[in-house]
Amino acid sequence: MNDLPRPQPGIMGIDLYEGGASQIAGVANPVKLSSNENPFGPSDAAKEAYLRAVHDLHRYPSTDHASLRAAIAEVHGLDPDRIVCGTGSDEILLLLAQAYAGPGGEVIHTEHGFLMYPIAARAVGATPVKVPDRDRRVDVDAILSAVTERTQIVFIANPNNPTGTMLDESEVERLARALPTHVMLVLDGAYAEYVEGFDGGARLATEYPNVFMTRTFSKIYGLGGLRIGWGYGPRAIVDVLNRIRNPFNLSHGQIAAAEAAMRDQAHIARCRAENARLRAWLAAALADLGVHSDPSHGNFILARFADAAEAGQCDDYLKTQGLIVRRVGSYGLPHCLRITIGDESACRRVAAAIAAFKGKA
Residues that bind ligand PMP (CB under 6 A): 88-90, 114, 157, 161, 188, 190, 216, 218, 224, 229
- Cβ-closest position to ligand PMP: 88
Helix then strand then coil, in percent of the chain rounded to 5, is 40, 15, 40
**For ligand PMP, the closer CB: 127 or 161:** 161
**For ligand PMP, the closer CB: 43 or 216:** 216
Q: Output the CA torsion 29→34→40→42 (10° steps).
A: -110
Question: Length of the chain in residues, anyone?
Answer: 361
Element (H, E) at 43: none
**For ligand PMP, the closer CB: 231 or 234:** 231
**For ligand PMP, the closer CB: 56 or 169:** 169
Q: Please give the span between the terminal C-alpha atoms of the chain, in angstroms, as a whole number.
A: 60
The DSSP string of 258-325 is HHHHHH-HHHHHHHHHHHHHHHHHHHHHHHHTT-B-PPPSSSEEEEE-SSHHHHHHHHHHHHHTTEE-
User: Per DSSP, which regions of the chain are E strands?
Assistant: 31-32, 83-86, 106-110, 127-131, 151-157, 184-188, 211-216, 229-232, 300-304, 323-324, 326-328, 333-340
**For ligand PMP, the closer CB: 126 or 186:** 186
Q: Are 78 and 202 contacting, i.e. CB atoms less than 8 angstroms apart?
A: yes
Residue 313 Cβ vs ligand PMP, minimum distance, rounded to whole Å: 26
**For ligand PMP, the closer CB: 190 or 318:** 190
**For ligand PMP, the closer CB: 159 or 234:** 159
Q: Are 161 and 330 contacting, i.e. CB atoms less than 8 angstroms apart?
A: no
Residue 39 Cβ vs ligand PMP, minimum distance, rounded to whole Å: 16
Residue 244 Cβ vs ligand PMP, minimum distance, rounded to whole Å: 18
Residue 104 Cβ vs ligand PMP, minimum distance, rounded to whole Å: 26
Residue 34 Cβ vs ligand PMP, minimum distance, rounded to whole Å: 11
**For ligand PMP, the closer CB: 109 or 351:** 109
Directed axis angle between helix 235-244 and helix 88-100, to 10°? 100
Residue 130 Cβ vs ligand PMP, minimum distance, rounded to whole Å: 16
Residue 157 Cβ vs ligand PMP, minimum distance, rounded to whole Å: 4
- Burial (CB count within 10 angstroms: exposed 0-12, middle 13-18, buried 19+), residue 104: exposed
Residue 9 Cβ vs ligand PMP, minimum distance, rounded to whole Å: 26
